[in-house]
Chain A
Amino acid sequence: MSAVIENHHDDHHHGPAKGLTRWLYTTNHKDIGTLYLWFSFAMFLIGGAMAMVIRAELFQPGMQIVEPEFYNQMITLHGLIMIFGGVMPAFVGLANWLVPMMIGAPDMALPRMNNLSFWILPFAFFILLSSLFMEGGAPNFGWTFYAPLSTTYAPPSVTFFIFSVHIMGASSIMGAINVVVTIMNMRAPGVGLMKMPLFVWSWLITAYLLIAVMPVLAGAVTMMLMDIHFGTSFFNAAGGGDPVLFQHIFWFFGHPEVYIMILPAFGIVSHIIETFSRKQLFGYSSMVWAMLSIAILSFVVWAHHMFTVGLPLAAELFFMWATMLIAVPTGVKVFNWIATMFRGSITFETPMLFACAFVVLFTLGGFSGLMLAITPADFQYHDTYFVVAHFHYVLVPGAIFSIMAAVYYWIPKWCGNMYDERLGKLHFWLSFIGVNVTFFPQHFIGLAGMPRRYPDYALQFADWNMVSTVGAFLFGVSQLLFLFIVVKTVMGGKKATDQVWEGARGLEWTVASPAPYHTFTTPPKID
């Protein structure tokens, strides 16, 4: 897609307001995008610190540093914070910054709701984190909060957890509605659906998934609330309910949720690979159809998380095959990325390094996912470190690497300065090595039978756990370097050109760097 921009001058030129109220009252999509991104960075560091507590405890067998009760709280909060506070807000932030600029819209369609959807998030996480200091401690039942662990046996703080999940859900739903309304109604003339940049497509699909499943999650926690406080028995067998019902409802939300956390990454990586391969993306329309098929299939595979609860054989077979079917559209995407690189004139700037690592390591995580999809094999792998290795491979070098790639790729457009390429590459290599040293050994200890979520383990798992912890601290510390690089880039650095990257295409590269406070107040002309 190419575009010609008229220089529209300052007929109503006004910049941002000054001071704190700029951020509190802002309805500007770029400001809100920035808020989301910084918020998710803060959550990433807090959730990361919890991961360090977990890995430090697992450095050696036996109880070393924390009490088992506190370990359980760390496990739970790490998962919740990284998913709902780290990955999801980061993608919403990127959507805020990029979607309007990519489709030639002046702002998001519902700017006030945009402000609201961001500003309720800090309260949700304040409530969740404050439960650490409550009597009985923070939620300790794992991020999947299976009943009856999260109902009959939950600490009193579970009610605060439920309330915070409600707020997070409301925030995500509002963000998603905003994205859909923007994309469906505010595209510049000439930006047809099948001409939209892939990041926009990926977010359109993600937003529909969010609108479909976040209310189901809200329903699940509401049922928990009613079981705990109002004497109902949704999940209580004594009253005629069923704990397995909880798992069905949870994973009906939970499986689309994992695609919510990866589809925007697909969009980001597609842009970066085509830019640094200096070629047009291979198979644009198959990329769109692949994402649509993945999204639709995501609704009919949830019970592959529950192979061991005693499903009938027919269900085990159905969910096994349906799950494996997802490998087909995913394979199409991986093929297209590689075909895009094929015979391209590739350069490996930091975003491209992260994108290439994404393709390789996400695929690796996909393969271990296929192994887990094999029902009989899953009886062995279920709830072991193999599962932990699998989902960290798709989430850390998958979702999180794509977010880091996006930050390096678009930060020159956001703040007008180039990041320090040498430091960026150093950050990449430290993260790449760190992530593999951390999570690859977890495949081995998982296959050998180490269960997840325990603060202690049998002696035969000691060596690989030690390696994993060393890797985790390497990865953790190198994210402080990332923070430093981002701050340094915001403060100053080599000025970026408007196009920033030689091979960059798309409307966002046609505006000045840094992007003016208001862009596309008159729609751009598209060829």
Chain B
Amino acid sequence: MNSDAKKTLRKLLIAVPLMFAFGFALVPLYDVFCEVTGINGKVFQSDYEDELLTDDGRPLAIQFISTNNENMPWVFEPSEKVMKISTGEYYTATFYVKNTTNKKMVAQAVPSVAPSNAAAHLKKLECFCFEQQELMPGEEALLPVKLLVSNELPKNIKNIIMSYTIFDITDYNDEPMAGHEMNMEH
């Protein structure tokens, strides 16, 4: 094999592990892309921002949806299904959970917001979805989410849906959370 062929071969042999690594790089890239564009409805924790408070807010309805993932036996439902709010003010909504089993369990709620272009204007000061919930057998709790919808919300949005899916992560609990940082600061 002549030296030109060796050179071509070397380049191609480097390309293969690079593309393999690129496959894995797609995982954080995908998150970064979604975060920058705010397209998958993920909302991260925000700081208290005075300038978002306003007196001339407009009315808005927030609907809450709760879903249990596959075999998750807990009772999990919003205290109010719909909350009438106005933009530029802080509100606290609560979700009721109860561990109906007779063993200690750990849960994680994963949030999503629709329409997705509302996500950037929804500020969560605190949310139960930022941390794991550990409940004893039969224990119940009210889980709070403190939120504000910025006045810059596109005018055509009159209705925001906040959806939470609760997962049983008792078996995963020893593991550090892979992938997403839930407590990301903006």
Q: Are A and B interaction partners?
A: yes
C-alpha gap A180/B12 in the complex (Å):
9
Cβ-based interface call for A19 (8 A): no
Number of interface residues of B (CB under 8 A): 40
Q: How many A-B Cβ pairs are below 8 Å?
A: 115
Stretch at the interface among A181-189, A330-338, A352-360, A504-512: A181-189
Give the Cβ gap from A72 to chain B, nearest Cβ, in Å.
19
Q: A211-B19, A233-B172, A240-B182 are in contact. Are A177 and B12 (CB under 8 A)?
A: yes
**Interface-central residue, A214, A231, A240, by most chain B CB under 10 Å:** A240
A291 within 8 A of B: no
A185 to B4, Cβ gap below 8 A? yes
B residues less than 8 Å from A154 (CB atoms) = none
Note all chain A residues with C-beta closer than 8 A to B116.
Answer: 312
Question: Any chain B CB within 8 A of the CB of A245?
Answer: yes
| Alpha-carbon distance A244/B34, docked complex (angstroms) | 12
- Evaluate contact between A186 and B19: CB separation under 8 angstroms: no
CA distance A252 to B5 in the complex (A): 29
Contact (Cβ within 8 A) B1 A109:
yes
Interface centre among A110, A177, A211, A238 (most CB of B within 10 A): A238
Q: Is B36 part of the contact surface with A, judged by Cβ < 8 Å?
A: no
Q: A110-B9, A241-B178 are in contact. Are A185 and B19 (CB under 8 A)?
A: no
Main secondary structure on B side of the interface with A:
helix
Residues from chain A with a CB closer than 8 A to the CB of B5 are: 109, 181, 184-186
Q: Is the CB of A239 within 8 A of B172?
A: yes
Are A234 and B26 touching (Cβ within 8 A)?
no
Contact check, B30 vs A216: say whether CB atoms are below 8 A apart: no
Q: Interface 1/0s, chain B 2-25, versus A by CB < 8 A?
A: 101100110011011111111110
Chain B residues 19-64 with CB under 8 Å of chain A are: 19-24, 26-27, 30, 37, 39-40
Cross-chain contact A237 with B167 (CB below 8 angstroms): yes
B110 within 8 Å of A (CB atoms) = yes
User: Please, which residue of chain A has its CB at the minimum distance from the CB of B34?
Assistant: A242
* B108 contacts partner chain A, Cβ-Cβ < 8 Å: yes
Contact between A216 and B27, CB atoms less than 8 A apart = no
- The answer on a CB contact under 8 Å between A233 and B69 is no
| Residues on A with beta carbons closer than 8 Å to the beta carbon of B2 | 185
Task: Please give the number of chain A residues whose Cβ is less than 8 angstroms from any Cβ of chain B in the complex.
Answer: 39
**Contact indicator B178/A181 (Cβ below 8 Å):** no
Question: Which chain B residues (154-186) contact chain A, with CB distance < 8 Å?
Answer: 165, 167-169, 172, 175, 177-180, 182
**Beta-carbon contacts under 8 Å, A168-224 to B:** 173, 177, 180-181, 184-186, 211-220, 222-223
Docked pose: A315 CA to B117 CA in angstroms: 13
Do residues B27 and A245 form an inter-chain contact, with CB atoms below 8 A? yes
Contact indicator B19/A231 (Cβ below 8 Å): no
A248 contacts the other chain (Cβ, under 8 Å)?
A: yes
Q: Indicate which residue in B19, B23, B175 contacts A239 across the interface (CB closer than 8 Å).
A: B175
**A26 within 8 Å of B (CB atoms):** no
> When the two chains form their complex, are residues B19 and A240 in contact, meaning their CB atoms are under 8 A apart?
no
Contact call B12/A181, Cβ cutoff below 8 A: yes
Expressed in whole angstroms, the Cα–Cα distance for A238 and B12 within the complex equals 38
Residues in A neighbouring B110, C-beta threshold 8 A: 237-238, 240
B163 to chain A, nearest CB (A): 12
- Closest B residue to A237 using CB positions: B110
Kindly state the separation between the CA atoms of A383 and B170 in the bound complex, as whole angstroms.
Answer: 35
* Given A173-B16, A238-B169: A216 touches B9 (CB 8 Å cut-off): no
Binding site for A on B (CB under 8 A): 1-2, 4-5, 8-9, 12-13, 15-24, 26-27, 30, 37, 39-40, 69, 108, 110, 116-117, 165, 167-169, 172, 175, 177-180, 182
Besides A173-B16, A177-B16, A240-B177, 4 new A-B residue pairs in contact (Cβ under 8 A), listed by A number: A233-B177, A249-B23, A312-B116, A315-B39
A-B contacts, 29 of them at CB < 8 A, read A109-B5, A110-B9, A177-B12, A180-B12, A184-B8, A186-B5, A211-B12, A215-B18, A216-B19, A216-B22, A217-B23, A231-B175, A233-B177, A233-B178, A233-B179, A237-B69, A237-B167, A238-B110, A239-B169, A239-B172, A239-B175, A239-B179, A240-B110, A240-B182, A241-B180, A244-B40, A245-B27, A249-B27, A311-B39
Hey, which bits of chain A sit against chain B, CB under 8 A?
A: 109-110, 173, 177, 180-181, 184-186, 211-220, 222-223, 231-234, 237-242, 244-245, 248-249, 252, 311-312, 315
